[in-house]
């Protein structure tokens, strides 16, 4: 069984928990998720099974869309609602919508973030949350991410409001919420988070664990799977003939010649089936070589 289970991750489970649960349900070892979602967050978490596990890093690289709630007036050690409060400031009046929209506009585009201490980013082989739990100081590396869209949705109350975020991989929405709050003049934290899209896989495509369990009992699990190509829609595609198909399946390097592709890496396909992911040879730009080959 090969394909993508478009899981709607419930609150309370880690992404790894979801992988382990699906492994048990499907009795398969080749299962992997495509981008960590915090335990208290819910939303789109594509789970790759079988041959689809080969595309995990490529699907992880796609843009993500989130619905986040920012609460002004309190900052926490974890930057979300689960941590201890480390700073407070009374919100006496609801911020003006124009002020919020101006701040949101200032975060659109390429920005620099410092990952939160309670995160899995590694420094010197050790995860940041391990430093945090041991109360050990550490220099956190900056990272550059891109915010493609950032829009105000609605006020929840005078101190809380929702935003919609479309961003590149590696973006910490918790940190974005904290930084937006600081720009508005308040300590802040992310009080809720829902991922509504990963690449081309949207909330409307997803299935719950209840639906998966039901499908397993009825031996209809394959009906839940999205094809591998759904996780690769952001890559360009080259259609090949029967002769080239065999070379691709054998993992051969090929001459670049007159091939035209907008993304690198790119897909090699025959009819409606993806054969492999290729890229320009790093040591010979006149050749292309396979990155992943699908049997």
| Prediction pTM value | 0.89
Q: Are residues 204 and 176 in the same domain?
A: no
Q: How far apart are CA 129 and CA 120, in angstroms?
A: 6
pLDDT digit string, tens, across residues 44-96? 999 999 999 999 989 888 999 999 999 999 999 999 999 899 999 999 999 99
Beta-bridge mates of residue 292:
277
Q: 161 in a domain, yes or no?
A: yes
Model pLDDT, residue 290: 92
| 3-state class (DSSP) for residue 151 | strand
Model pLDDT, residue 137: 78
CATH number of the domain at 242, please. 2.30.130.10
Model pLDDT, residue 130: 80
CATH number of the domain at 20, please. 3.30.2350.10
Q: Are residues 9 and 57 in the same domain?
A: yes
Model pLDDT, residue 116: 77
Model pLDDT, residue 269: 92
Picking from 198, 151, 161, 215, the residue whose alpha carbon sits closest to that of residue 9 is 198
Q: Are residues 207 and 143 in the same domain?
A: no
* pLDDT above 90 (res 3): yes
Q: Which residue has the higher pLDDT, 135 or 158?
A: 158
Give the mean model confidence (pLDDT) for residues 95-120.
91
Q: 162 in a domain, yes or no?
A: yes
Model pLDDT, residue 141: 82
Integer CA distances (angstroms), 197 to 64, 102, 210, 285, in order: 6, 25, 20, 35
Model pLDDT, residue 61: 86
pLDDT digit string, tens, across residues 268-284? 999 888 999 999 999 88
188 with 91: CB under 8 angstroms?
Answer: no
Would you please indicate which residues are annotated as catalytic (active-site) residues?
Answer: 38
Integer CA distances (angstroms), 21 to 24, 27, 51, 102, in order: 5, 10, 19, 43
Identify the domain containing residue 122 by its residue range: 72-182
pLDDT digit string, tens, across residues 188-225? 999 999 999 999 999 999 999 999 999 999 999 999 99
> pLDDT-based confidence at 160, cuts 50/70/90?
very high
Q: Is the dihedral of CA 176, 230, 31, 27 positive or negative?
A: positive
Structural domain total, the chain? 3
Q: What is the mean pLDDT of the chain?
A: 92
Model pLDDT, residue 183: 96
Helix and strand totals (H; E) in the chain:
7, 18
Model pLDDT, residue 121: 74
> pLDDT-based confidence at 100, cuts 50/70/90?
very high
Q: How far apart are CA 32 and CA 47, in angstroms?
A: 6
Give the mean model confidence (pLDDT) for residues 146-159.
97
Give the mean model confidence (pLDDT) for residues 30-56.
92
Give the mean model confidence (pLDDT) for residues 10-19.
94
Q: 192 in a domain, yes or no?
A: no
Q: Are residues 79 and 178 in the same domain?
A: yes
Residue 249 CB-half CA count within 13 A: 12
Model pLDDT, residue 108: 96
Q: Are residues 78 and 162 in the same domain?
A: yes
Q: Are residues 77 and 175 in the same domain?
A: yes
Integer CA distances (angstroms), 266 to 21, 53, 202, 261, 278, in order: 32, 17, 22, 7, 6
Q: Are residues 242 and 224 in the same domain?
A: no
| 3-state class (DSSP) for residue 136 | coil
* pLDDT above 90 (res 138): no
């Amino acid at each position: 069984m090969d394909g993508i289970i478009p899981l709607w991750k419930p609150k309370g489970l880690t992404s790894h928990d979801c992988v382990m649960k699906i492994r048990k349900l499907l009795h398969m070892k080749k299962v992997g998720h495509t981008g960590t979602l915090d335990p208290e967050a819910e939303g789109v978490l594509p789970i790759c099974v079988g041959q689809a596990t080969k595309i995990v890093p490529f699907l992880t690289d796609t843009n993500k869309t989130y619905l986040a709630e920012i609460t002004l007036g309190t900052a926490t050690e974890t930057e979300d609602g689960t941590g201890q409060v480390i700073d407070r400031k009374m919100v006496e009046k609801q911020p003006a919508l124009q002020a919020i929209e101006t701040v949101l506009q200032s975060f659109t585009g390429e920005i620099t973030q410092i990952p939160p201490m309670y995160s899995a980013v590694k420094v010197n082989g050790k995860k940041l949350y391990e430093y945090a739990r041991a109360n050990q100081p550490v220099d956190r590396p900056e990272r550059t991410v891109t915010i493609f869209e950032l829009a105000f949705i609605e006020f929840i109350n005078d101190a809380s409001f929702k935003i919609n975020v479309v961003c590149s991989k590696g973006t910490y929405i918790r940190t974005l919420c904290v930084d937006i709050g600081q720009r508005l003049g308040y300590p802040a934290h992310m009080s809720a988070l829902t991922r509504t899209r990963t690449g081309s896989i949207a909330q409307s495509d997803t299935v719950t664990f209840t639906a998966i369990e039901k499908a397993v009992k009825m031996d209809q699990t394959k009906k839940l799977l999205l094809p591998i190509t759904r996780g690769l829609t952001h890559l360009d595609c080259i259609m090949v003939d029967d002769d080239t198909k065999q070379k691709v399946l054998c993992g051969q390097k090929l001459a670049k010649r007159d091939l035209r592709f907008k993304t690198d890496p790119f897909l090699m396909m025959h009819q409606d089936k993806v054969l492999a992911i290729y890229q320009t040879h790093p040591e010979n730009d006149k050749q292309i070589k396979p990155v992943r080959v699908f049997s």
